[in-house]
Chains A and B, each alone.
Chain A
Amino acid sequence: GNSVTQMEGPVTLSEEAFLTINCTYTATGYPSLFWYVQYPGEGLQLLLKATKADDKGSNKGFEATYRKETTSFHLEKGSVQVSDSAVYFCALLYNQGGKLIFGQGTELSVKP
């Protein structure tokens, strides 16, 4: 079946460090892929998306590339800030009805 696997957290980084959060997926066909972010005490917000192979989604300095050959959609940012501390969810979209399948989430903590 369809599924999303993320690297386990928590991930703790110093400010200005490079960030990578790994995400791999299993799916039939060609799903669209997403990263959502959940700041403390809030609901999830869409961070970026990619709808086909080799597409790169980007937003707020974050980026992720849809790699069909490795079934991956890793999230990267060149220089993290304390305000990036949040839980990040990778997700894929399958079938009709807009049903997203989420990974388990990766908590990021950025220290000054």
Chain B
Amino acid sequence: NAGVTQTPKFRVLKTGQSMTLLCAQDMNHEYMYWYRQDPGMGLRLIHYSVGEGTTAKGEVPDGYNVSRLKKQNFLLGLESAAPSQTSVYFCASSRQADTGELFFGEGSRLTVL
């Protein structure tokens, strides 16, 4: 079982470039999340989705956009990358909202020069 798959795993961007991170899950989960992980700060929620066609802002949404056109996919976009967006990005999914049991992808390391 693939679980949660993120692409790409690594990417280097120049300031001002755009890119999209793709998250795909094969567990038929309703809920999907994008987090960023920075040293000493743990994981912070960027955006999340409670179902196909829905998205909502998390703790640190500025500079990012998301879309959930299909239930299995959750895309994270950076329209104009900044060095402050250098981070490791994790996608996660869950079947129910009230369990706190998230399944995480392996992460995508993004460097913005």
Partner-B contacts on A (CB < 8 A): 4, 32, 34, 41-46, 49, 89, 91, 93, 96-100, 102-105
Contact = CB atoms under 8 A, between A and B. Distances in A.
B106 A93 contact: no
Contact of B90 (A44, A93, A97): A44
Contact of B102 (A42, A44, A96, A103): A44
Interface string B97-111: 111111011110000
B2 to A, nearest CB: 13
Q: Could you say which interface size class chain B belongs to?
A: 20 to 34
B97 A98 contact: yes
A101 to B, nearest CB: 8
Interface of B: 4, 31, 33, 40-45, 48, 50, 56, 58, 90, 92, 94, 96-102, 104-107
Given A42-B106, A43-B106, A104 B100 contact: no
A94 to B, nearest CB: 10
Contact of A102 (B40, B42, B101, B105): B42
Task: For the complex of A and B, list the 8 residue pairs with the smallest distance between their C-beta atoms, beginning with the closest.
Answer: A43-B104, A93-B100, A98-B97, A102-B42, A104-B42, A102-B43, A44-B104, A43-B106
Nearest to A100: B100
Nearest to B98: A98
Contacts of A32: 100
Nearest to A91: B100
Nearest to A49: B100
Contacts of A45: 104
Given A43-B90, A43-B107, A44-B90, A98 B102 contact: yes
Nearest to B58: A99
Contacts of A96: 97-98
B3 to A, nearest CB: 9
